[in-house]
Amino acid sequence: MALFHFHVTQIKRSAGQSAVAAAAYRAGEKLHSEYYGEISDYTRKGGVICSEILLPSHAPPEYADRETLWNAVEKAERGKKAQLAYSFDIALQNEFSMQENIALARQFLSDNFVSRGMVVDFAVHSPDKGDGGISNPHFHVMCPIRPIEPDGRWGNKQRREYVLDEHGERVLDEAGNYVFNAVPTTDWGKPETLEAWRQSWAELCNAMFAEKNLDCRIDHRSFACQGVEQIPTQHEGPTVRAMEAKGIRTDKGNLNRFIRKTNALLREAKEKIAALIGWLRDVKAELAKPQPPTLNDLLALHCSNRNRGAYSNKAKNANLQRYAEAFSFLQSKNLYTVDDLDNALHAMQDKIDALKKSASAKQSRIKELDGLLRMVDYYKSGKPAADKLKSIRFEKSRQKYKSEHDNELRTFYMAERKLKPYFKDGKLPITAWRREREQLEQEYRDIQTELSPLHADAKKLWAIHYNIYEVQHEQERQNTELRQKKQEIEH
């Protein structure tokens, strides 16, 4: 799943931190800090894929050595509360290979950091899935806060900008000192610079997603800026992740579990509300459409038209009775509109056609079986004569016997020819044929039983359909006359 994580902090002495120790941990190396006189050994640390130092063209080449670089940074910073370096923690994408991720990270750092004159020490980590549960490739970046001057020496982080009065003179405070503001010499620490870096990283990743024809995308903006109603989780860090992986519950882990559960409830509620709004919109649109007349309206109009021409109350009552029966029948079939009626007729006719086709196939098979069983009777009745004929040796006697049993023998030979394909091991499946015929007869009767009410219902529906057609045809005729009269008046 595509993930955007881009976190920046400062490494500073006021928090008891060492730039050398931090670099050793991120690179998985053993480094000596001259400032603290300590050795930080992280050579046994797993998950470090690669580490590299990127230098701008004017930086001393010896800074390509990690221990030399960060001891130089520690030496340049004299204050006990000095800010030493920026530290970035940036997520890589599981959708890319590790080689693609490393190349993407190197391009991002070169284009956005080194191009500004920043020294970059970065290390790519890919913790074992077993430690964290899921693959979490990321890279750490450390950059000295103090810039390097064109001559290779460390420059100032800030410069003084004196406050001037209306005459352009420097302003003095109560102690007689000049009042000034400390202005950063670089824009590296500005919020807008960080936002530009975050955007640049997202755009690089999204460009590769597009290049690989992947649908996923990441967004550097906060949930609030994206318009996403979701609570962001808290960054846990390697220590918290390691504790959670061992089953040790932490405050951050508990908070993130609560946030994820809350976000799931928010998403579910939002989806339900969106579905409800969509349903209400569809209902409103449907109600706004001009509604076609119902079958009841058309039947009532048909009854009214017939009663206008009726000569007696008896005829009127008969029309009303037919209308009531038709209306009750339609209600029993849940038919309320002309479309309902058309669909029901088509479905009913399709079913009738299918049943008729099935009945016809069964009739054909019954007829075929009747023919085979009749051949069996011919075969059985004629076989003794045929067997007798075979036993007669003399030709005259054979001819005499054949003429005496001519009809019997002819039907036998005919039956034998037709039954020949059905003999298996000298036997005919007579019992199976009779059983099949009985089954087909029963199925045919069942079909006829099913067809009878269908025919009756179809007859009623076609009668109603004809009445509806009469009303609609009359309405169309009247509308045509009105349009013609309107045209005549206008012309």
Using H for helix, E for strand and C for coil, what is the string for the chain?
Answer: CCCCCEEEEEEEHHHCCCHHHHHHHHHCCEEEECCCCEEEECCCCCCEEEEEEECCCCCCHHHHCHHHHHHHHHHHCCCCCCEEEEEEEEECCCCCCHHHHHHHHHHHHHHHCHHHCCCEEEEEECCCHHHHCCCCCEEEEEEECCCECCCCCECCCEEEEECECCCCCECECCCCCECEEEEECCCCCCHHHHHHHHHHHHHHHHHHHHHCCCCCCCCCCCHHHHCCCCCCCCCCHHHHHHHHHCCCCCHHHHHHHHHHHHHHHHHHHHHHHHHHHHHHHHHHHHHHCCCCCEHHHHHHHHHHHHHHCCCCHHHHHHHHHHHHHHHHHHHHCCCCEHHHHHHHHHHHHHHHHHHHHHHHHHHHHHHHHHHHHHHHHHHHHHHHHHHHHHHCCCHHHHHHHHHHCHHHHHHHHHHHHHHHHHCECCECCHHHHHHHHHHHHHHHHHHHHHHHHHHHHHHHHHHHHHHHHHHHHHHHHHHHHHHHHHHHHHC
Q: How confident is the model at residue 274 (pLDDT cuts 50, 70, 90)?
A: confident
Residue 86, pLDDT score:
95
Range with lowest mean pLDDT among 160-169, 318-327, 361-370 = 160-169
Residue 61 has pLDDT above 60, yes or no: yes
Residue 235 has pLDDT above 80, yes or no: no
Q: 62, exposed or middle or buried, with CB in 10 Å at 0-12, 13-18, 19+? A: exposed
Q: Name the token pair of 102.
A: 């490393």
**Which residues neighbour 199 within 8 Å (Cβ) at sequence distance 6 or greater?**
220
Q: How confident is the model at residue 304 (pLDDT cuts 50, 70, 90)?
A: confident
| Range 395-413 average pLDDT | 91
Q: How confident is the model at residue 491 (pLDDT cuts 50, 70, 90)?
A: low
| Range 403-414 average pLDDT | 91
Residue 131, pLDDT score:
41
Range with lowest mean pLDDT among 224-233, 322-331, 469-478 = 224-233
Q: How confident is the model at residue 50 (pLDDT cuts 50, 70, 90)?
A: very high
Distances (CA, A) of 460 to 325, 342, 355: 10, 13, 19
| Range 477-483 average pLDDT | 82
Range with lowest mean pLDDT among 47-51, 234-238, 477-481 = 234-238
Q: How confident is the model at residue 220 (pLDDT cuts 50, 70, 90)?
A: low
Report the percentage of the chain scoring pLDDT > 90.
47
pLDDT greater at residue 317 or residue 133: 317
Residue 234, pLDDT score:
65
Residue 165 has pLDDT above 50, yes or no: yes
Residue 224 has pLDDT above 70, yes or no: no
Residue 75 has pLDDT above 90, yes or no: yes
Residue 247 has pLDDT above 80, yes or no: no
Residue 41, pLDDT score:
93
Residue 380, pLDDT score:
92
| Range 426-452 average pLDDT | 93
| Range 10-30 average pLDDT | 93
Q: Name the token pair of 345.
A: 């007729």
Number of C-beta neighbours around residue 411 at 10 A: 18
- d(C-alpha 242, C-alpha 128), whole Å: 11
CA atoms within 13 A on the CB side of 281: 6
pLDDT greater at residue 305 or residue 147: 147
CA atoms within 13 A on the CB side of 236: 20
Q: How far is CA 389 from the centre of its chain?
A: 81
The average confidence (pLDDT) of the chain is 86
Distances (CA, A) of 424 to 411, 417, 418: 21, 14, 14
- d(C-alpha 78, C-alpha 13), whole Å: 10
Range with lowest mean pLDDT among 152-166, 279-293, 302-316 = 279-293
Q: Name the token pair of 80.
A: 């006990």
Q: How confident is the model at residue 370 (pLDDT cuts 50, 70, 90)?
A: very high
Residue 312, pLDDT score:
85
- d(C-alpha 249, C-alpha 452), whole Å: 73
Q: How confident is the model at residue 236 (pLDDT cuts 50, 70, 90)?
A: low
CATH of 6-220, one of 3.90.1150.110, 3.30.930.30, 3.30.70.100, 3.10.580.10: 3.30.930.30
Residue 124 pairs with which residues in a beta bridge? 50, 139
Residue 72, pLDDT score:
95
Q: How confident is the model at residue 229 (pLDDT cuts 50, 70, 90)?
A: low
330-341 in b/e burial notation, b at 16+ Cβ within 10 A?
beeeebebbeeb
For the CA atoms of 480, 483, 488, 490, the dihedral, rounded to the nearest 10 degrees, stands at -170
Residue pair 203/218 in contact by the 8 Å Cβ criterion: no
Pairing verdict, β 83-91 and 6-12: antiparallel
Range with lowest mean pLDDT among 76-85, 134-143, 368-377 = 134-143
| Range 232-240 average pLDDT | 65
Residue 237 has pLDDT above 70, yes or no: no
Distances (CA, A) of 413 to 57, 417, 469, 491: 111, 6, 63, 89
pTM above 0.75, yes or no: no
Residue 134, pLDDT score:
47
Residue pair 183/161 in contact by the 8 Å Cβ criterion: yes
Residue pair 199/181 in contact by the 8 Å Cβ criterion: no
Highest mean pLDDT among 47-51, 66-70, 283-287: 66-70
Range with lowest mean pLDDT among 155-164, 310-319, 482-491 = 482-491
Per-residue model confidence as pLDDT tens digits over 112-161: 999 999 999 999 998 765 444 446 789 999 999 999 999 999 999 888 88
Q: How confident is the model at residue 376 (pLDDT cuts 50, 70, 90)?
A: very high
